[in-house]
Amino acid sequence: MNPVTGKSPAGKSPVLMHAVVSVDGFIADAEDQVGALFDWYGNGDVPIVEDAGFRVSKASAEYTRAIWDSLGVIIMGRRLFDLTNGWDAKPPAGEHVVVVSHRPRPADWHPEASHYHFARDVPEAVARARELAGTRSVAITAGDIGGQAFALGLVDVVAMDVAPVVLGAGRRFFGSAAGERLLDDPHVVVQGDRVLHVQYRTRVTAAESS
């Protein structure tokens, strides 16, 4: 069991759906701008890791550092990959990145980055990420890709860094996932400065358990 992400399915790495989110449920506006959502990443004096520029409150640093240290793999969509240039082949945490994309890896993009892997769909990406992660955790970015994984029952923990911002519209945390689904009561609640870190375990539905 991972102390940050909660329970781990038997023989599988736990999958954590994670993002900074506004109080009305958006991870970015319609133009993919985060506005004030990330303000808490620079409003403190404690670095999350020594070689990173993020300086946050002590509570946020301890919480975020524990998650980053637990990760083996990050799953991201092609949209985020293109927007960030795949973090220039330097993921913020974990040893591997799996990109969900119908298009192949760009031919001229960091040919040395053997730790980046491309998958055709979300189930393939989650399966590949769990193989690569071993006993460590897998983080899947919220939004369309994370929402697909959530709808398919492939997410074990929903983790939200809730910023006190109302965006009004934009990219939803759960993407296009529809329908009601219950989560457990939060098993992690950490108050930071201008952010509230919350984690919820997902509940297995009757269809998933059969």
Show the CA angle centred on residue 178, arms to residues 97 and 188, nearest 5°: 60
Average the pLDDT over 126-155 and give the result: 96
Query: Would you state the pLDDT for residue 208?
Result: 57
Show the CA angle centred on residue 71, arms to residues 68 and 72, nearest 5°: 140
Query: Would you state the pLDDT for residue 3?
Result: 43
E-only strand ranges, 31-180:
46-47, 55-56, 71-77, 96-100, 116-119, 137-141, 157-163, 171-172
3 or 34, which is more confident? 34
Q: What is the C-alpha separation between 118 and 123, in angstroms, rounded?
A: 12
| Residue 12: pLDDT band with limits 50, 70, 90 | confident
In single-letter form, the type of residue at position 4 comes to: V
Query: Would you state the pLDDT for residue 57?
Result: 97
Query: Would you state the pLDDT for residue 24?
Result: 97
Q: Domains, the chain, ranges and CATH?
A: 15-36+71-209 (3.40.430.10)
pLDDT at 97 over 60: yes
Query: Would you state the pLDDT for residue 11?
Result: 61
| Residue 206: pLDDT band with limits 50, 70, 90 | very low
- The residues, any chain, with a CB within 8 Å of residue 40's CB and separated by 6 or more, are 56, 57, 60, 161, 163, 192, 193, 194, 195
- pLDDT, mean over the chain: 91
Query: Would you state the pLDDT for residue 1?
Result: 35
| Residue 2: pLDDT band with limits 50, 70, 90 | very low
Query: Would you state the pLDDT for residue 53?
Result: 75
| Residue 4: pLDDT band with limits 50, 70, 90 | low
Q: What is the pLDDT of residues 46-89, one digit of tens each?
A: 998 876 678 999 999 999 999 999 999 999 999 999 999 999 99
Q: What is the C-alpha separation between 47 and 99, in angstroms, rounded?
A: 28
